[in-house]
């Protein structure tokens, strides 16, 4: 129990002291962790456990992606914002469908895109010392 509490305190401190750029990177990591949890769930033979793991993982990924989508400032019309909004919408649709149908088929392109975006974001943060320092 002590280790679990220590991990939780560390996570909270990390979030509370992270820069906005690092927070976004952490959110991408959270989406990918949710998808990974669902992918693990798809391998489980027990249908109850399988459906629970898939559902919980995909709901986590969906909630974080929805938050990322809603945080875009679309009042300032930029091509980047509009494209990211549409891309997040595409991902949300695929995650929702995978959850409803309990079919992992549509997750591969979502995961690949997220990994590419996460990697690009990480590279951007590394090249911006004030953001990387958190």
- 10-residue stretch averages of pLDDT, the chain, 134 residues long: 52 60 94 98 97 98 96 84 94 97 95 97 86 51
- Within a domain: 2: no
- In degrees rounded to 5, what are phi and psi of residue 56? -65, -40
pLDDT computed for residue 11 by the predictor: 47
pLDDT computed for residue 20 by the predictor: 84
Give this prediction's pTM.
0.82
- Within a domain: 82: yes
Domain that holds residue 42: 21-129
- Within a domain: 86: yes
Count up the domains in the chain and report the number.
1
- In degrees rounded to 5, what are phi and psi of residue 128? -120, 90
pLDDT computed for residue 50 by the predictor: 97
pLDDT computed for residue 38 by the predictor: 98
Cα–Cα distances in Å, from 80 out to 19, 37, 57, 74, 99?
A: 21, 30, 28, 10, 28
pLDDT in tens, 62-88: 999 999 999 998 887 788 889 999 999
Q: What is the CATH number of the domain that holds 118?
A: 1.20.120.340
77: left (phi over 0), alpha (psi -120 to 50) or beta: beta
- Within a domain: 80: yes
- Within a domain: 14: no
């Amino acid at each position: 129990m002590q280790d679990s509490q220590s991990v939780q305190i560390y996570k909270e401190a990390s979030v509370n002291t992270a820069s906005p750029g690092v927070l976004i990177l952490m959110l991408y990591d959270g989406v990918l962790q949710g998808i990974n949890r669902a992918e693990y769930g798809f391998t489980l033979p027990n249908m109850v456990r399988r459906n629970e793991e898939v559902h919980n993982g995909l709901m986590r990924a969906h909630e974080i992606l929805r938050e990322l989508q809603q945080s875009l400032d679309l009042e300032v019309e930029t091509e980047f914002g509009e494209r990211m909004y549409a891309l997040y919408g595409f991902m949300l649709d695929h995650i929702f469908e995978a959850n409803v149908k309990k079919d992992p088929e549509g997750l591969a392109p979502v995961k690949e895109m997220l990994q590419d975006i996460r990697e690009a974001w990480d590279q951007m943060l590394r090249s911006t010392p004030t953001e990387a320092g958190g």
